[in-house]
Amino acid sequence: MASSPRPAVQRIRPPKAPYRVVNRVMRWLLTDPARAGRVGRHLLLLHVTGRRTGRELVFPVAYRDNGDGRLLVLTNSPWRVNLRDRPDVAVTLLGRHRPARAELVEDPDRVATAYRTLIEAAGHRRAGRRMGIRINVPRTPTHDELAEASRRDGLALVYLDVAGGAR
């Protein structure tokens, strides 16, 4: 029985147990301006309300400046569904808790365009790890390959408009 070839792009699924510990440590580090330091320039805490439980959920997420005053978070994590039709969130950025508005983008074409732009800027060899994906081809994936990964693996974008500006 022949195995099917790996897709050009696929989601990376990190091991759960170590990430539970790492996330606890990151939540502790990122809640105080004095501790946030260097790690706070790349990670923030995203505070969302669970759509079924109504509980506040807090996730450390990597972000980047989108260049338009908003922050961009790339995700393929299940927590993203809590943002559907619920844009009011909060962030802890550099140790400061602030309200924010989130725009969840799950449209495969928009996601593919953004991912492709970021992969081209970073170079396909380095981009995958930084973006939480595995690139299984020796080139920048095509728009169609990235759109298929978005549909199959739930790749999405979250744009954050932070009250008082991103910094």
For 71-132, what is the HEC assignment? EEEEECCHHHHHHCCCCEEEEEECCEEEEEEEEEECCHHHHHHHHHHHHHHHCHHHHHHHHC
Instruction: Give domain status of residue 3, yes or no.
Output: no
Tens of pLDDT, residue by residue over 113-164, are 999 999 999 988 888 878 889 999 999 999 999 999 999 999 999 999 998 7
φ/ψ bin of 72: left (φ > 0), alpha (ψ from -120 to 50), beta (otherwise): beta
Instruction: Give domain status of residue 6, yes or no.
Output: no
- 166 confidence band (pLDDT: 50, 70, 90): low
Instruction: Give domain status of residue 71, yes or no.
Output: yes
Instruction: Give domain status of residue 35, yes or no.
Output: yes
Instruction: Give domain status of residue 72, yes or no.
Output: yes
Instruction: Give domain status of residue 80, yes or no.
Output: yes
Please tell me the total count of domains within the chain. Answer: 1
Instruction: Give domain status of residue 1, yes or no.
Output: no
Tell me the three state secondary structure of residue 43. strand
Looking at residue 16, what is its pLDDT?
79
Does residue 71 register a pLDDT over 90?
yes
What's 117's domain CATH number?
2.30.110.10
The tokens 């924010």 sit on which residue?
Answer: 100
**Domain assignment of residue 88, given as a range:** 15-162
Tens of pLDDT, residue by residue over 76-120, are 999 999 999 999 999 999 999 999 999 999 999 999 999 999 999
Looking at residue 129, what is its pLDDT?
78
